[in-house]
Amino acid sequence: MNVLMLGIGQCGNRILDAVNREAFGGSSRLSKYYSRQKFPSRVETLAINTAVNDLKELRFTAAKDRLHVPNLHGVGANRGIGKQGFWENREMIMEEIERRGDFDIAFVMTSASGGTGSSFTPLVVHELRERYKKITVIPVMVLPFREEGSIYLQNAAFSMRDIMEVESDGIILVDNQYLKRLSGDIKTAYDKINEMVAERLLFLIESLDSEMLSVTDLGDFKTVMKGGLGMGTLGFYESDKKTASLTSAIESSLKPSGLLYPADVYEDAARAMIIIQGSRDSLDVDEITKSVEKLSTKIGQVFKGIVIKKGRPKILSVFTLGQVPDLEMLYAQAAQAIQDEKSRKTRAKKQLDDAFAYIEDLEEVY
Ligand code: GDP
């Protein structure tokens, strides 16, 4: 499988860096796995940004995998300027991607609320679609902390609409606000969130490319991602000594604590895929089948994949949603923020006009 991972804008770049750390550079177990022949995936990564300093900050992404898109003063969270910047550099950006060959699947990671990533991503997804006829394109959209300000909220609202309008194969949602509870300070929260996203995506790529005992492939993944509203999220659970059973481990992968976006899986999910990795003796196929069947009665369609791999069972759940109440709330908040901003502007303008009115009929006297 040929995999393209793009990280656009600061947030996207950093998640990509976390992917590179996990997969190729860092001291993780996955890095060993990647260098083994058994893993046939070719994973190409590219960080794209208008801000050169954001690219310089990356630690695990090779220099050749950092693309600076010149834009005199960055885009300053302005999506209009961002889109313009993309159009002016479209060929250069796409050539850099195309130089990397053919791809079966692309993950395009970005924050929904900044300037560069949120404006480039829908356009990049569109270009990938045009240029690679058979590619599966999955945007990974990071929603902002809700208190980050009105511009970020409005950007998130409009960029989510843009990304829904271009033909992707389903969006993976990550919510900073929801995941903020993981850590006190923002830097640690970012690192933790980025690591969680990287770990889940790599697990997914690795599994889709493994010889599965129970087959789940790219086609099944696409079917899941097309379900419901065409957006969903990922859950994860790693068993430990205290995990009571395989069934409880599977259920735990759907619990709020393992999700990247708040959802009540049993109520909201439209389709799902459960991938279980573990040593042969830790996996009881009958038990897995039974618990997946139980899930199917609630969710509808649930695919299952089993990958034999050393260690205690680890479970990834992928699912799309039939309803997204939290996203609706974000739109309500964004609309309110836009209204507030507008009335503040009108008030300020009126105040200034009133001030000018004092001197309307007067002339300067010297
Ligand atoms: P851009 O560079 O113009 O695309 O803008 P950013 O990517 O900086 O977008 C700002 C948004 O991204 C805000 O909502 C931030 O909270 C979020 N963000 C920035 N860096 C990170 C990060 O490393 N991880 C996560 N999860 N979110 C981030």
Give me the pLDDT at residue 32, please.
45
Q: From the CB of residue 167, how many other CB atoms can be counted at a distance below 10 Å?
A: 11
And the tokens for 210? 């493994």
DSSP string, 137-170: EEEEEEEPPGGG-HHHHHHHHHHHHHHHHS--S-
Task: Name the closest-CA residue to atom 13, ligand 1.
Answer: 144
| Residues pairing with 234 in the sheet | 318
Residue 357's contacts (CB-CB under 8 Å, 6 or more residues apart) are: none
Task: Name the closest-CA residue to atom 10, ligand 1.
Answer: 114
Averages of pLDDT over each 10 residues, the chain, 366 residues: 96 97 63 46 93 95 95 81 95 97 97 97 98 96 94 96 96 96 88 96 90 77 96 97 94 94 95 95 94 93 93 96 94 95 95 96 95
Asked if residue 146 lies in contact with residue 205, where contact means CB atoms within 8 angstroms, the answer is no
Helix (H, G, I), strand (E, B) or coil at 366: coil
Q: How far is the CA of 63 from the centre of ligand 1 (A)?
A: 21
Give me the pLDDT at residue 56, please.
96
The response to whether 14 counts as a known ligand-binding position is yes
225-321 and 2-209 share a CATH fold: no
- Domain map of the chain by residue range? 2-209, 225-321
The ligand 1 atom nearest the CA atom of 144: 14
Q: Which of 75, 142, 150 to mutate to test the pocket of ligand 1 (most atoms within 8 A of CB)?
A: 142
Provide ipTM, 2 decimals: 0.99
The architecture in CATH of the region 225-321 reads 2-Layer Sandwich (3.30)
Q: Rounded to whole angstroms, how far apart are CA atoms 351 and 313? A: 65
The response to whether 89 counts as a known ligand-binding position is no
The response to whether 148 counts as a known ligand-binding position is yes
Of 162, 81, 78, the C-alpha closest to 126 is 162
Give me the pLDDT at residue 138, please.
98
Q: Which of 111, 155, 159, 179 to mutate to test the pocket of ligand 1 (most atoms within 8 A of CB)?
A: 111
Rounded to 5°, the CA angle 294-201-167 comes to 90
The response to whether 115 counts as a known ligand-binding position is yes
Strands 231-238 and 314-321: antiparallel
Q: How far is the CA of 111 from the centre of ligand 1 (A)?
A: 5
Strands 136-143 and 42-49: unpaired
Q: Rounded to whole angstroms, how far apart are CA atoms 347 and 169? A: 44
- Residues in contact with ligand 1 by the CB-under-6-Å rule are 9-11, 14, 54, 75, 111, 113-118, 142, 144-145, 148, 152, 176, 190, 193-194
Give me the pLDDT at residue 41, please.
78
Which homologous superfamily is 2-209 in? Tubulin/FtsZ, GTPase domain (3.40.50.1440)
Give me the pLDDT at residue 28, please.
47
